[in-house]
């Protein structure tokens, strides 16, 4: 993996602004300020302190002390700069404490040394050519997903090393799965859409050939493959609202406002998910989910027939889920569930065994991908009189099995308790990717595994000797 580089913390004493009136950066903001990458992108969730991080970065002591320094921060439109609480207002809170004076006509702040920071817009793609003859040492994009890929790469050509200032590009962003940026930072994002914590701030290098971005873990690797190339270093630093406690203290309602958003916006803006798409349709209808959320958790009842569905996951963030469905009559009812993440195989199998012992199911369906085969074998060993069936999940079978439960839900054949964890998974389950955009779909998959054998289980229920007494 590429090496993590921390400027200042490794090379020199860190300049401080303790007497300047600037706020103390939060740890993630400091990571952004310390990065020596040619290009550093900061962001993820709403409220992570992105705009302040840019303003602090552009007013670092080593920059504002150089009279030849001139930085430019772009927003897509002028109103976004001057709107209430926007870049201009935020700079007006902090930059005067550094002795900076403002020129609102040119949207420029000038420090006592003559160094300056300017705000500008790129509303139309043609506006990039207004900067054709410019030589800028530092450029930033506030909300990079609002800009085009062409804007981003073109203005890199306007950056020049002048008077000892290393040319660097900085940007902030909120997640947008349908943006060009999502592809650019893909290495930093896991398959579920969340940033890898261990990759935050890690440097990689790239070059652009025929509009293709070519990556490597080292500049030397690229130079060996493409002689005479000039690789640029790049990093993505992920941050969430919880990384900015100052905002939560200042505005305690901010979190509640994000939590009140629909499932897609909440996944993007609160959880920082880069895979969820605004346009992606949901497999399970919201009305059907609400109509089915009237069940109750219950202990076993004499002469009832039960079907188990098990989605085994061990040792990771995904949960081991073991569900108990009462299939004696319609609607089928979820009556119990063991669900645990980061659990050992032994612990999870023991919990499942207790449920099997308690409910005496007519059939147990186990997904046998990964460690599921071990679960099936252990249950067969412990319960020789119970039918234990394997379900192998492939792309096609996942579509078939989740379609089956979606249809059952829409037809009013299902009930589950209103406090079931799986409800959030249902609301965010994509009809396209067949995954929950929240990143976890263990309850949905345990249900789908169970109902892969619903017909066989119903036949067994009809000959259940307890029902014949």
pLDDT in tens, 240-253: 888 888 888 888 88
Out of 113-117, 247-251, 288-292, 378-382, least confident range: 247-251
d(C-alpha 426, C-alpha 454), whole Å: 19
Please name which of 107, 117, 118, 184 lies closest in space to residue 145, comparing C-alpha atoms. Answer: 184
List the strands of the sheet with 212-216, edge to edge: 101-103, 108-110, 116-121, 70-75, 138-141, 168-173, 39-44, 232-239, 204-209, 212-216
End-to-end, the C-alpha distance of the chain in Å comes to 65
DSSP 203: -
d(C-alpha 464, C-alpha 245), whole Å: 58
Both tokens of 204, joined, read: 């990689």
d(C-alpha 13, C-alpha 32), whole Å: 17
> Which of helix, strand or coil describes residue 122?
coil
> Which of helix, strand or coil describes residue 141?
strand
DSSP 239: E
Sketch out the chain's domains with CATH numbers: 27-270 (3.40.50.300), 286-468 (3.30.420.240)
Cα dist. 267→192, 271, 316, 422, 435 in Å? 11, 5, 20, 16, 13
DSSP 191: T
d(C-alpha 29, C-alpha 45), whole Å: 13
> Which of helix, strand or coil describes residue 342?
coil
Q: What is the pLDDT of residue 16?
A: 42
Please name which of 175, 177, 129 lies closest in space to residue 150, comparing C-alpha atoms. Answer: 129
Percent of the chain at pLDDT > 90 equals 63
At 301, give phi and psi (nearest 5°): -115, 135
Cα dist. 373→18, 65, 347, 377, 390 in Å? 60, 65, 16, 6, 8
Question: Looking at the predicted structure, is the pLDDT value of residue 468 above 90?
Answer: no
> Which of helix, strand or coil describes residue 341?
strand
Both tokens of 223, joined, read: 């130079």
| CB-CB neighbours of 186 under 10 Å | 12
d(C-alpha 189, C-alpha 197), whole Å: 9
Are 366 and 449 in contact by the 8 Å Cβ rule? The answer is yes
Partner residues linked to 43 by β-bridges:
173, 238
Both tokens of 286, joined, read: 């919201």
- What would the pLDDT profile of 27-75 be if each residue is shown by its tens digit? 999 999 999 999 999 987 888 889 999 999 999 999 999 999 999 999 9
d(C-alpha 62, C-alpha 69), whole Å: 10
Q: What is the pLDDT of residue 439?
A: 67
> Which of helix, strand or coil describes residue 364?
strand
Question: Looking at the predicted structure, is the pLDDT value of residue 83 above 60?
Answer: yes
Partner residues linked to 44 by β-bridges:
239
Both tokens of 138, joined, read: 């530092």
DSSP 33: H
Q: What is the pLDDT of residue 96?
A: 96
- What would the pLDDT profile of 258-285 be if each residue is shown by its tens digit? 888 777 788 888 888 898 776 567 889 9
Partner residues linked to 236 by β-bridges:
41
> Which of helix, strand or coil describes residue 450?
helix
> Which of helix, strand or coil describes residue 455?
helix
d(C-alpha 244, C-alpha 49), whole Å: 6
Q: What is the pLDDT of residue 59?
A: 95
């Amino acid at each position: 993996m590429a090496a993590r580089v921390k400027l200042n913390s490794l090379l020199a004493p860190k300049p401080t602004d303790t007497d300047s009136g600037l706020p103390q950066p939060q740890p993630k903001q400091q990571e952004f300020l310390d990065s020596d990458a040619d290009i550093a992108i900061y962001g993820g969730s709403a409220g992570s302190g992105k705009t302040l991080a840019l303003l602090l970065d552009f007013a670092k002591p080593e920059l504002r002390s150089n009279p030849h320094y001139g930085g430019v921060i772009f927003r897509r439109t002028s109103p976004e700069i001057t709107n209430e609480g926007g870049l201009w207002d935020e700079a007006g809170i902090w930059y005067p404490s550094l002795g900076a004076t403002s020129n609102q006509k040119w949207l420029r702040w000038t420090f006592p040394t003559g160094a300056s920071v300017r705000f500008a817009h790129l509303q139309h793609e043609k506006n990039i050519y207004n900067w054709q003859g410019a030589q800028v040492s530092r450029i930033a994009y506030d909300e990079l997903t609002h800009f085009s890929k062409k804007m981003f790469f073109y203005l890199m050509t306007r950056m020049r090393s002048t008077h000892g200032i290393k040319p660097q590009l900085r940007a902030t962003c909120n997640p947008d799965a349908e943006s060009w940026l999502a592809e650019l930072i893909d290495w930093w994002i896991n398959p579920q859409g969340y940033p890898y914590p261990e990759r935050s701030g890690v440097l990689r290098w790239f070059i652009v050939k025929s509009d293709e971005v070519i990556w490597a873990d080292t500049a030397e690797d690229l130079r060996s493959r493409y002689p005479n190339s000039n690789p640029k270093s790049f990093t993505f630093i992920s941050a969430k609202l919880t990384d900015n406690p100052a905002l939560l203290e200042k505005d305690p309602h901010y979190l509640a406002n994000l939590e009140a958003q629909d499932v897609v916006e909440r996944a993007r803006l609160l959880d920082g998910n880069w895979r969820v798409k605004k346009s992606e349709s949901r497999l399970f209808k919201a009305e059907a989910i609400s109509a089915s959320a009237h069940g109750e958790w219950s202990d076993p009842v004499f002469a009832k027939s039960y079907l188990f569905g098990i989605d085994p996951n061990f040792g990771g963030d995904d949960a081991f889920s073991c569900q108990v469905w009462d299939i004696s009559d319609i609607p089928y009812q979820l009556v119990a569930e063991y669900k645990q993440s980061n659990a050992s195989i032994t612990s999870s199998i023991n919990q499942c065994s207790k449920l099997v012992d308690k409910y005496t199911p007519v059939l147990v369906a186990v997904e046998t991908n990964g460690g599921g085969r071990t679960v099936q074998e252990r249950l067969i060993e412990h319960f020789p009189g119970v039918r234990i069936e394997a379900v192998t999940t492939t792309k096609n079978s996942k579509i078939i099995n989740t379609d089956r439960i979606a249809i059952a839900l829409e037809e009013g054949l299902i009930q589950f308790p209103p406090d079931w964890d799986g409800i959030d998974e249902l609301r965010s389950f994509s009809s396209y990717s067949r995954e929950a955009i929240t990143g976890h779909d263990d309850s949905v998959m345990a249900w789908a595994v169970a109902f892969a054998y619903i017909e066989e289980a119903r036949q067994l229920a009809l000959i259940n000797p307890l029902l014949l007494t």
